Structure formats: structure tokens, C-alpha cells
Structure 1
């Protein structure tokens, strides 16, 4: 895949930080992100916020260990995923927009769709789609999404790409990530604090070593 020049990327992020400091970002009607299995994100549970790109290999590789931790801790661990369309992945914005459309039509389909993207993301890399039109890519992602959202939502899902609110929601996701200092996924926050080594997947043992002490303090 083609990658952005590191110096250019740093300059872009500096510009975004300057812009954020000088102007008020749009405030969404509700907080950005998709809650996993709808547990409470406050109280005695530990909250993980994950900034993920559906066509990013690092995001894909980070998901199995995080999902294993979610299954292990059950209601003691809450997760909110913020879709973050990486600028150097050409189809990331369309993928993240697909997640917002899915959330609008059938919120329970968001995580199944995210997992479908992770399983098939190589077909949406820059090289395989180089000669494809944007319309063809959207049609292909719609076909993929309908296996999670439901075939009865075909027309509504297609119309979702003509809905300006889904564009705005995807832009807000990106701006929200920038406001939190996210440069490239995967990036994780635990109880509001960023974990070290952004951009790198965490394995299951790393999640356990991070979360176990916090739950022990909550219990005490």
C-alpha cells in the first residue's frame, strides 16, 4: 500500500492541532463512537476507547486480543470504538462512513460489519482498488455491509451515501480523534488516559496486566 511521507504527515497533524486550538469543533448531538454490547461506560467498569480504521492492518490485528479481553471481563469492561479514517488509506473514509450508516439503520450490526471489514480488508487496500471508481468501491462495500445489516436495508443503505449527516458523522469521528491527539490507529485510551505505543496492537496479556490492577482498586 502507498503510505504518506512521514514528514508530510507530521506537518498535517501540526496544522490540524493548530486549527483545533484556533476554532471550535462541531459538537455532535451525542458523543462519538459505538458502544460494544451496551454496558454502562461509567461506574465500576473500566472504560476502553479504541480508535480503529476498518481498512488498517494494525486495527485488524488488535481486535482479537481486545475482544478476548471483553469476553473475559464481561460487564467489568466497557468499550467504545471511535472510527478513525486514516488519511493514508484511500478507502478508509468510505469504510468508516459505512459503519455510521450501519449504526443509523441497525446499531447491532456495527461490530459484525467491523469484523467483516477486518476479514476482507485486503481487497480495499490502495493497490487492489487503484483502477476502481469510487462508485464501484461504494457498491462493493454496500454488498459487504448488507450481510451484517440485513438485505432488507439495501435501499436505505445505498441512500445513506447520499445523506449528508453520515458525511458529517464521519468527519466528526476524525476530528474527535485529532482532538485527542490520535495520529494513526490503533490507539487506545483506558479510563481516559492514552496507552503507550500508539499505532501498535496489544496482546491479551498486555490487556490483562493493564486492566486487572484497575479492577482490583475498584473492588477495594
Structure 2
């Protein structure tokens, strides 16, 4: 092998090692506490369980914050159904099924407003969710089909897994610009944290 060929091989090997090191370094230094969405200057990510009374209690305050901040703050709701809540996973799928027909937010609202009727039950509340879909004017046949859609269920479970990796252990859990919010998620406390992030 000529001297030039050997030198070329060494250069190629060094470049490969540098590239591999860069890729590995980039991968290991992803320290974002929770996934962030683009859009607003501040992103609020909430992990919730549709059957959780604390999530229901926080919901009106979150709605108020959304209307007050408008486009300055991006609110991103993700599912974290707790296994001990018999209908939480199906409720999350129902919300996404409603979303397929453009009524995700409306189903969220109705689910929380009627939570005391269906939450805490040890039998499937599928029929109640189909009734809710009808009340929202959805195509109930398409909605029922979507409730059995494995892709929607996988989306919900993937969000729960993602939340667990981000440090979510209970609901509701909020992240503001990737930083986990601590304390009771009252309207005033969340507003204060958002204002601080905006300033």
C-alpha cells in the first residue's frame, strides 16, 4: 500500500470516529425534561388522566389560562391514564376518537363535566362515551369503530410511556418550557409560573 493510500485511510478513520462521537454526544445530552411543542413563546405540557378528580378540578383554570394567553402560550395536553382507573385508558381513546371528527376539545370538556357519572366505575363505560359522542353530534358508528382502533390506543399508551420517562408519577403533572411544575396546579399558581416564563 502506498504512503498516500495509507494516509487517506487514516483520515477516513479519524473522520468516522469524530462523526460517531458527535452523534453519541448529541444523543446523550438531550436533557429536556418533557417534550416541548413549537408555536408560542411558552409551552405548557399537561399530562392528565380523564378519570382523575384532580385533573377535573384543574381543568376550568387551564381553560381560563388558554383564553387569556391566546397565541403567546402553547398548551399541549397529553394522556397519562393511571392503570388503577378502570376506564381512564378508554376515556383517553374516546377523546382521540372525537378528535378524529374535529371535537377533541369538546369531548375533553364533556368528559370532565360528566366525570362523576362515569368515573370510579368498575365496569366499562363504553356505552356512556358513545352517548357523549352522540350529544356532540359525532358520527357514532365511526366513533365506536375508532374506540377499537389499536393505533389510537397505542398513541395514548405512548404518551403515558413518554410521561413516565419525563418523571410523571401522578396527575395532573405540568411542564412549563420543559421544567416540571411543582405545587398545587391552581389557576393562580400556574399563571404565576407562566408569567415568570414569559418575562
Partners of 1:43 and 1:125 in 2: how far apart? 34
Counterparts of 1:66-105 in structure 2 under 5 Å?
A: 66-105=62-101
- Which of the numbers 160, 173, 176 marks the counterpart of 1:187? 173
Give the Å deviation of 1:44. Answer: 5.2
**Runs of 4+ in structure 1 displaced over 6 angstroms?**
none
Give the Å deviation of 1:43. Answer: 5.5
Counterparts of 1:131-146 in structure 2 under 5 Å?
A: 132=123, 134=124, 137-146=125-134
Structure 2 residues not aligned, in runs of 5+: 1-34
Equivalent residue, structure 2, for 1:125: 119
Q: Does structure 1 retain, via aligned residues, the 8 Å contact 2:42–2:197?
A: yes
Partners of 1:112 and 1:204 in 2: how far apart? 21
Q: TM-score, normalised by structure 1?
A: 0.69
Q: TM-score, normalised by structure 2?
A: 0.76
- Which of the numbers 126, 130, 143 marks the counterpart of 1:157? 143
Partners of 2:38 and 2:155 in 1: how far apart? 24
User: In 2 relative to 1, CA 86–215 (structure 1 residues): closer, same or farther, beyond 3 Å?
Assistant: same
Partners of 1:100 and 1:66 in 2: how far apart? 19
Aligned residue pairs, count:
165
Partners of 1:124 and 1:214 in 2: how far apart? 37
Counterparts of 1:1-220 in structure 2 under 5 Å?
A: 41-42=37-38, 45-106=41-102, 109-126=103-120, 129-130=121-122, 132=123, 134=124, 137-148=125-136, 150-151=137-138, 153-197=139-183, 200=184, 202-216=185-199
Give the Å deviation of 1:125. Answer: 2.5
Partners of 2:87 and 2:40 in 1: how far apart? 38
Three-state SS of the structure 2 residue aligned to 1:185 is coil
Structure 1 residues not aligned, in runs of 5+: 1-32, 34-40
User: In 2 relative to 1, CA 194–105 (structure 1 residues): closer, same or farther, beyond 3 Å?
Assistant: same
